[in-house]
Amino acid sequence: MQKFVIQGGRRLEGDIVVQGAKNSALPILAATLLCEGESILENCPALSDVYAACRILSSTGCQCRMQEHTVHVTADAPACPAIPVSLMQEMRSSIMFLGAMLGRLGSCTLGYPGGCELGPRPIDLHLKALRRMGVNIREENGILTCTAPQGLRGARIHLQFPSVGATENILLAAVLARGDTILTNAAREPEILDLARYLSCCGAKIDGAGSSTIRVQGVKKLRGCTYRIMPDRIVTATWLAAAAVTGGELRLLHTDAASLESILAVLEEMNCRCSRTAESICIAAGGHMRAVRYLKTMPYPGFPTDAQAILMAVLCTANGTSVLEETIFENRFRHVDALVRMGADIQVAGRIAVVHGVRHLHGAQVSATDLRGGAAMLTAGLGAEGETILTDISHIDRGYDSPEQILRTVGAEIERI
Ligand code: UD1
């Protein structure tokens, strides 16, 4: 098992080119299944979740190969409408293939998806919407058999909660359905807009993606295209946090500043200077960090749940007391124990965490609890005094492409062992 060994307290300085977004690459990889001919996806991050999505595509009969950061998918004759249980378990986003397979093949057999353990992660909203689109769903021993005997049909769908995954699955199912789909209370995350842009490039008719009402007019066929995956806003947030926690100065390139406003506002409140152009962000964290009075995770454009753990790692050594409320997932404070072992003063009650700033954290042996919890440990280790040994880093590899190499180029002392 691999681990990171970090000598903390090194000030980070320099430029980082931000990788492509995992949460955009995964649904777009699923979407390639809907398109005849070849799709070429540029700026795809090299991550274990991306490799798992490629294995799912191959298992259905598509040709899929990754070269550097470009994935080529030819989906001329996908034939197998089933996803092996082992591949479903590898990641949460495997569920995206349900909408895509139903759209292209009219049926899909699959197990429940795996992914981070952030509390229960039901897929009831996905299934309810698909039923409205004419899908019969049968469940036996944890295996779902989904069929659309008369083909998928467009429908009016209202989501009780703006679930990112359900919105994406409905889009994937709707683009080749018969008639129009109108989705209300849709999630507005930028990755949904990215998926819609890819599908539109392939010939889909979608209006309103990125807003809470999306209209899709079903078309008969889609044709693959060349598309560049958007930059990863949570990886951007992680490097911003790494600058903040080390009192450093970083310029992040090839990012999308507009999608990071809620995070930049918090960093500015904490006393970081942030300047942005459309595609770059400069952060300078000269003075002492200040606590934030109250930070609540919300669907986009609110503060993202995926950045909560990472910002908490910075708030541990800020002046004063910060209160964080997690509203999206039930079990998203699993990183707190490890931060406390590094000297943080944090109390958790239900969905609220109260962080009393301490002067500094100290290195310790800690393990990554999940993807973003692992990124929080990494951030804390960069700022801590002494050596941090971070184990279970396979969680981090699900979302970060070569993080230790990137961090070394800006002055961090970190080894993968
Ligand atoms: C996506 C992101 C994940 C992020 C999350 C919230 C990807 C690959 N993952 O996950 O990084 O943390 O959005 O921004 O894009 N829910 C239900 N029933 C459903 C679906 C969801 O109750 O059918 C609940 C979930 O349990 C959770 C909340 O809705 O409490 C949000 O989930 P959702 O927006 O669907 O997140 P994911 O798409 O799984």
Spell out a b/e string for 66-101, using b for 16 or more CB atoms within 10 Å of the CB, else e: eeebebbbbbeebeebbbbeebbebbbbbbbbbbbb
Torsion sign over Cα 362, 368, 373, 375: positive
Chain segment 304-330, per-residue pLDDT in tens: 999 999 999 999 999 999 999 999 998
User: How much is the average pLDDT of 202-206?
Assistant: 98
In this prediction, residue 184 carries a pLDDT of: 98
Q: Is the CB of 72 under 6 A from ligand 1?
A: no
Q: In the structure, what pLDDT confidence band is assigned to residue 232 with cuts at 50, 70 and 90? A: very high
- Residue count of the chain, please give it: 417
Q: Output the pLDDT for position 88.
A: 83
Each residue's pLDDT tens digit, 260-295: 999 999 999 999 999 999 899 999 997 889 999 999
Q: What is the mean pLDDT of residues 174-179?
A: 98
The answer to whether the bond into 84 is cis (omega within 30° of 0) is no
- Asked if residue 23 has its Cβ within 6 Å of ligand 1, the reply is yes
Give the residue whose CA is nearest to atom 5 of ligand 1: 164
Q: Is the predicted pLDDT of residue 391 greater than 80, yes or no?
A: yes
- 371 Cβ below 6 A of ligand 1: no
What is the rounded CA–CA span in Å between residue 72 and residue 64? 6
Backbone angles phi, psi at 390, to 5 degrees: -110, 115
What does pLDDT average to over the chain?
Answer: 95
Q: Which atom of ligand 1 has the smallest separation from the CA of 125? A: 23
Residue 120: pLDDT over 70:
no
User: What's the CA gap between 307 and 235, in Å, rounded?
Assistant: 9
Between CA 286 and CA 243 the distance in angstroms is 10
Contact 165 CB / ligand 1 (< 6 Å): yes
* Lowest-confidence pick of 47-51, 83-87, 154-158, 205-209: 83-87
Cα(77) to centroid of ligand 1, in Å?
A: 31
| Radius of gyration over every alpha carbon of the chain, rounded to an integer in angstroms | 21
What is the average per-residue pLDDT within 3-14?
Answer: 97
pLDDT for 417: 95
Q: How confident is the model over 157-183, as a mean pLDDT?
A: 98
The answer to whether residue 114 scores a pLDDT higher than 70 is no
Asked whether the predicted pLDDT for residue 115 surpasses 60, the reply is no
Ligand 1 center–CA 163 separation, angstroms = 5
Report which of 313, 254, 311, 267 is spatially closest to residue 16, judged by C-alpha positions: 254
Closest-CA residue to 230 (of 29, 19, 16, 31)? 19
Site to probe by mutation for ligand 1, drawn from 28, 29, 163 as the one with most ligand atoms within 8 Å of Cβ, is: 163
Residue 116 is a catalytic residue: yes
Q: Does 350 contact ligand 1 (Cβ within 6 A)?
A: no
- Residues 412 and 382 sit within 8 Å (Cβ to Cβ): yes
Look at residue 117 in the predicted model and tell me its pLDDT.
Answer: 59
The answer, yes or no, to whether any atom of ligand 1 lies below 6 A from the CB of 123, is yes
CB atoms within 10 A of CB 268: 12
**Would you list the DSSP string of 239-257?**
HHHHHHHTT-EEEEES--G
Separation of 119 CA from ligand 1 center, angstroms? 11
Gap between the Cα atoms of 168 and 25, Å rounded = 12
Domains of the chain: residue spans and CATH: 3-18+231-416 (3.65.10.10), 22-228 (3.65.10.10)
pLDDT, one tens digit per residue, over 332-385 is 999 999 999 999 999 999 999 999 999 999 999 999 989 999 999 999 999 999
pLDDT at 32 over 70: yes
Return the residue whose CA atom lies nearest to atom 38 of ligand 1. Answer: 165
Q: Name the one residue in this structure whose structure tokens are 């057999």.
A: 109
Which residue has the CA at smallest separation from atom 34 of ligand 1?
163
Give the global pTM: 0.96
pLDDT for 118 beyond 80: no
For ligand 1, whether the C-beta of 303 sits within 6 Å is no
Closest-lying ligand 1 atom to the alpha carbon of residue 299: 14
Is the Cβ atom of 126 under 6 angstroms away from ligand 1? yes
Task: State how far the Cα of 325 lies from the Cα of 354, in Å rounded to an integer.
Answer: 9
pLDDT computed for residue 92 by the predictor: 76
Structural contact between residues 59 and 86, judged by C-beta atoms closer than 8 angstroms:
no
Q: Which residue has the higher pLDDT, 113 or 359?
A: 359
| Selected catalytic residue, list 35, 44, 54, 116 | 116
Give the distance (Å) from ligand 1 centre to CA of residue 372: 14
pLDDT of residue 180: 98
| Other Cβ atoms closer than 10 A to 153 | 17
